[in-house]
Amino acid sequence: MKVRVAINGFGTIGKRVADAVARQPDMELVGVTKTRPSFEARRAREKGYPLYLAGEGKAEEFAAAGLPLAGTAAELLARVDVVVDAAPDKIGRENRRLYEAAGIRAVFQGGEKPDVAEASFNALGNYAACRGKRTLRVVSCNTTGLARAAAVLLPNWGVDHWEATLVRRGADPAESKKGPINGILPTFQLPSHHGPDVRTVFPELSIATTALVVPTTLMHVHVNHVRLKRPPQAVAEVLEGFRRTPRFRIFAPWEHADGTPQVMEYARDRGIGFNDMMENVLWEAGTRLEGRDLYFFQAIHQESIVVPENVDAIRAMFDLAPDGPSSIALTDRALGLRAG
């Protein structure tokens, strides 16, 4: 029996998670919701995803656009085992009562506060602790990137303390009303909220983060300095640790992918998802070890990094896989991803 899944909120994250769920052998995408007709609603229909009316949406607008609705969000929720809420920040919390009323499980996104769900989730970080939960929150894009890296560093060398500066994209590519056009905006929250958010997955981790926003839409970049507990022999050992872990892509100097424009060009060449880069991206040349001090840059494609995590969150909730690595392998195979 496949787990029946609904996507409530078919925007940047929701449309990607819908595609990812539709590709999984143990899940069935029952439908997606939209508040109003749009090119994305049209794409949902073109892909054969049943379309349901979300939030305060008006059925007449869909009828006028020639987009047939399969019902209301409440009707969709009655037909599924779990909903992935991908509505805008803070709306997920409002939607929670709908999911409770329908008696179904729910996966929330990182735009919600941690207490929206029983636990915060990262597949490499805490899959086992999230098995069987009725509600989970997939941590944000930046937190997912940090948590994945922590899942490599902690078991291999231990972490004394970690300082990270997050250089954040100003807006997603499709947004035209947001973001600095010409400026660098420091986030005047010192340290930033990302460190505590990583601790929702790794409660013991000593990490402090700062952030600033810059005029780019492609990716975030993290500048990391980690004092490890046990020194690796060489930086090659650290790179190998990342390389053999799923959801990491390490660029060699000869690839000449020297920054986020080339990384996203690679993603377009590869054509996975919406030409997405769902892995943490590291550069060999941007990783350095001095004794116990590890320095590395990592780039995070904000629009897609959480997509495979949402799939694994569903699998953890329903205990569909023997363990986290099996779920990750299944998800990544269905998506066409591989480690390296």
Q: Of 4-12, 74-82, 159-167, 184-192, which part binds ligand NAD (CB under 6 A)?
A: 4-12
Contact between 45 and 10 under an 8 Å Cβ cutoff? The reply is no
* DSSP state for residue 287 in the 8-state scheme: E
Nearer to ligand NAD, 161 or 268 (CB): 268
Say what the alpha-carbon torsion angle 182, 171, 45, 7 is, to the nearest 10 degrees: -170
Q: Of 6-14, 18-26, 208-216, 271-279, which part binds ligand NAD (CB under 6 A)?
A: 6-14
Q: Taking CA 254 as the corner, what is the angle to CA 329 and CA 221, rounded to the nearest 5 degrees?
A: 60
Which residue among 135, 245, 302, 331 contacts ligand NAD (CB under 6 A)? 302
Q: Which helix (H) or strand (E) holds 222?
A: strand 220-228
Omega within 30 of 0 (cis) for the link into 191:
yes
**Is 141 part of the annotated catalytic residue set?**
yes
Tell me: does residue 211 bind ligand NAD (CB under 6 A): no
Which residue among 141, 146, 150, 316 contacts ligand NAD (CB under 6 A)? 141
Q: Is 8 helix (H, G, I), strand (E, B) or coil?
A: strand
Query: Closest distance between ligand NAD and the C-beta of residue 277, in Å?
Result: 13
Query: Closest distance between ligand NAD and the C-beta of residue 144, in Å?
Result: 8
Q: Which of 141, 147, 167, 294 is catalytic?
A: 141
Tell me: does residue 303 bind ligand NAD (CB under 6 A): yes
Which residue among 8, 120, 192, 298 contacts ligand NAD (CB under 6 A)? 8
| Dist. CA 128–CA 29, nearest whole Å | 24
Contact between 154 and 245 under an 8 Å Cβ cutoff? The reply is no
Give the tokens for residue 235.
Answer: 């930086």
For residues 36 to 55, the per-residue mask of contacts with ligand NAD, x marking binding by CB under 6 A and - elsewhere, is ------------------xx
Residue number of the CB closest to ligand NAD reads 11
Query: Closest distance between ligand NAD and the C-beta of residue 104, in Å?
Result: 15
Beta bridge partners of 165: 210, 223
Tell me: does residue 228 bind ligand NAD (CB under 6 A): no
Tell me: does residue 10 bind ligand NAD (CB under 6 A): yes
Tell me: does residue 88 bind ligand NAD (CB under 6 A): yes
Give the tokens for residue 238.
Answer: 């650290």
Give the tokens for residue 179.
Answer: 């973001």
Residue with tokens 């004092």: 227
For residues 54 to 83, the per-residue mask of contacts with ligand NAD, x marking binding by CB under 6 A and - elsewhere, is xx----------------------------
| Dist. CA 92–CA 155, nearest whole Å | 33
Tell me: does residue 192 bind ligand NAD (CB under 6 A): no
Contact between 238 and 268 under an 8 Å Cβ cutoff? The reply is no
Residues in touch with ligand NAD (CB under 6 A)? 8-14, 33, 35, 54-55, 86-89, 91, 95, 109-112, 140-141, 172, 302-303, 306
